[in-house]
Every structure is written in structure tokens, then in C-alpha cells.
Amino acid sequence: PITPTKQVWMDGELVPWAEATVHVLTHSLHYGTGVFEGIRAYPTPQGVAVFRLKEHMERLLASARILMMEVPYGRDELVAAAKDVVRVNGLDEGCYLRPLVFLGDGEMGLNPLPCRVRVAIAAWPWGTYLGEEGLARGVRLKVSSWRRHDPNAMPTAAKGTGMYLNSALAKIEALKAGYDEALLLAPDGRVSECTGENVFVVRDGRLLTPPTSAAGALPGITQDAVETLARDLGIDVVHQDLVRTDLYLADEAFLTGTAAELVPIREVDDRLVGDGRPGPITTELQRTYFATVRGELDRYKDWLDHVQ
Ligand code: PMP
């Protein structure tokens, strides 16, 4: 369950948590016509800081643009609003932030263009998404029977709310079958992504990840950060199409996402990845990622937006 905080930013002002509500005829509630973000803030030696906040707000606006939603705020206003939310709620130990752009009530039917575009940003403390044990020992994946979106059926470059029906179906299937997470293939069979994370494979010392646009995966901000961290550690990173057996035969594999962070993959379809323990490159990148978001590495200070 979500731990409530004090205030939520809604349409330009801070409102009490319990009053951040909408009417049941909210357009986005019926048709999935919304776009959103998931962002994390972490405690650093200089106080709490939001990781790659500008990039997240840029992706939010890009998602809205794809859906022809005119957001009445610019990137910098959204950045300032997000920082306000962290500050007024006293979330000094870090938190998860959820900006949502949605269409309000007053119109029904499939034409979204007349609807009022509304924006909310909430924040609350949220522990690691796939659990402490997953983070330490790795998670078990199952290739889903659900395919990820065809980019001509759903705009995979957008983080659209309705698109997550596909993730929810895949997540239910994986959990009911006793796995931690689903690995989704694109309609043509290549590896796309997990329900809320991008995928990496380590093979012969190189890091491989699917090219997001061709694989119909969301271009992950954590994925991008981890690619930079890997290159800076001298590890080659290649965007390459993968098929499911590339995961079976990987030396190491892991997934990345804002909520999940960097999580080793222990098994895929009941096959151990490597020897089933997080490998050296995964461990090194995970350590470096946490040091980065926690402001311990000067080199990546530009990725942190301090709240005070
Ligand atoms: N793919 C999907 C489907 C996601 O929902 C997410 C989480 N936003 C990601 C990948 C990872 O993206 P990011 O690293 O920007 O959080």
C-alpha cells in the first residue's frame, strides 16, 4: 500500500493528499488516454536530490506530444513543481514521484481533443520495486505469452497509461505462474522489455541491450544512465537485437528501471543465468548506479537535481 504524504501538486497548486481526487467520468480513466512518469529522489550528502528530473519531464512532454495532449506547463515548471512536492512533504530520505498528465471530465467518446488536459504530481516513500531479495540475489523471469506492443498499434516511445494493460496482463501471468517478472517479446519475436523495465545481457564481457525503438520498448532513462556508467568503466555497450535464447545463454543479465533500479536476473524460463548468482559486471554496475543516484560520484553530479 502507498504511504500517504501531505500534499499533491494538481493543476498548478499544492492540495492536501486526500483532496487530490477526480470525477468518475474522467476521460483517462475510461480510455487510458494519459501519459505519466516514474521518478526517484535519493538522499545524498548534500540533501535529497531527484535523479535525472529534467530528462523525465522531457520524456513526459514527448509522450504528451505523441498523444497530441497540450500540456499547460513547460519542462522547467514541471521540474520546479516536482521539487516542491518533495520539499513540502519532507521526503528527505528519498521517494518515488509520479507525474501524470490526464484528460479530465466533461467530455466522453473517443475524440480526446476537446478534453481538458490536467497534470498531477504525487510523491511518497517507495522501497525497491522488485524487493530487497530480488535486488541482492536476482529475479526469476518467464517469457510472457503476451507480446509487447507493435509500434503501429501503440506508440511505444510514449509512456501512455493505457499501454500498461499489456504490462498488467503479463505481470499477472508471470506472478500466477510463480515467477517474479515477465519478459515480453516484440510481435516479431525479438526481446523487447519487461513489464516496467529494460533488459541487459552480458556476453563475453560486453553489454547488450535491445535497440528500444525497433524492439518496441520504452527508451529507459535508467537504461541510458547504465550505458554511460558501463562505458565509463571501460565496458563495451552494444544495442543489438536479442532473442529469448540470448538470455538463456547469457553470462549475466539484469534489468533496469526507475522503480526497480538495477536488478540481477537469476533465471529465465527456469534456466539459470550463468551460475544463477549476480555476476561481476552486474554487481559492479549495480554498486556504481547506487553510488551515482546517492550523489557519491562527482562525475555524475549533473544528473542530480537538489530539492533545497
Ligand atoms: N519499460 C517500461 C515499460 C517501463 O514502464 C519503464 C519504467 N518507466 C522502463 C522500461 C524503464 O524506464 P526508466 O528507466 O526510464 O524508468
User: From first to last of its 308 residues, what are the pLDDT tens digits of the chain?
Assistant: 899 999 999 999 999 999 999 999 999 999 999 999 999 999 999 999 999 999 999 999 999 999 999 999 999 999 999 999 999 999 999 999 999 999 999 999 999 999 999 999 999 999 999 999 999 999 999 999 999 999 999 999 999 999 999 999 999 999 999 999 999 999 999 999 999 999 999 999 999 999 988 999 999 999 999 999 999 999 999 999 999 999 999 999 999 999 999 999 999 999 999 999 999 999 999 999 999 999 999 999 999 999 98
Closest Cα to atom 5 of ligand 1: 196
User: Considering the domain boundaries, does residue 304 fall inside one?
Assistant: no
At 164, the amino acid letter reads Y
Report yes or no: 63 and 35 within 8 Å, Cβ to Cβ.
yes
pLDDT on residue 80: 98
Among residues 124, 148, 180, the one where a domain terminates is 124
Give the number of other Cβ atoms within 10 Å of residue 213's Cβ: 12
Q: Rounded to an integer, what distance in angstroms lies between the CA atom of residue 258 and that of residue 172?
A: 21
Please indicate whether residue 160, judged by its CB atom, sits closer than 6 Å to ligand 1. no
Q: Are residues 144 and 281 in the same domain?
A: yes
Indicate whether 167 and 245 sit together in one domain: yes
Residues identified as active-site: 159
Q: What is the whole-number distance in angstroms between the Cα of residue 106 and the centre of ligand 1?
A: 31
| Top mutation candidate among 55, 130, 218 for ligand 1, by most atoms within 8 Å of CB | 218
Give the residue numbers spanning the domain of 63: 7-124
Ligand 1 centroid to Cα of residue 205, in Å, is 25
Number of structural domains found in the chain: 2
**Minimum CA distance residue for ligand 1 atom 7:** 196
**In this structure, are 166 and 288 located in the same domain?**
yes
- On whether both 45 and 185 belong to a single domain, the answer is no
Verify whether ligand 1 is closer than 6 Å to residue 258 (CB atom).
Answer: yes
> Are residues 205 and 68 part of one domain?
no
Pocket of ligand 1 contains residue 221 by CB under 6 Å: yes
For residue 257, the model assigns a pLDDT of: 98
34 lines ligand 1 (CB under 6 A): no
Give pLDDT, residue 92.
Answer: 98
Task: Report whether 191 contacts 141 (CB < 8 A).
Answer: no
Residue 1 covered by a domain: no
- Where is the domain boundary, 124, 154, 184? 124
Q: All 3 cell numbers of residue 94? A: 528519498
In a domain, 202, yes or no: yes
pLDDT score of 258: 98
Last residue of a domain, one of 68, 102, 124: 124
Q: Whose CA is nearest to atom 3 of ligand 1?
A: 196
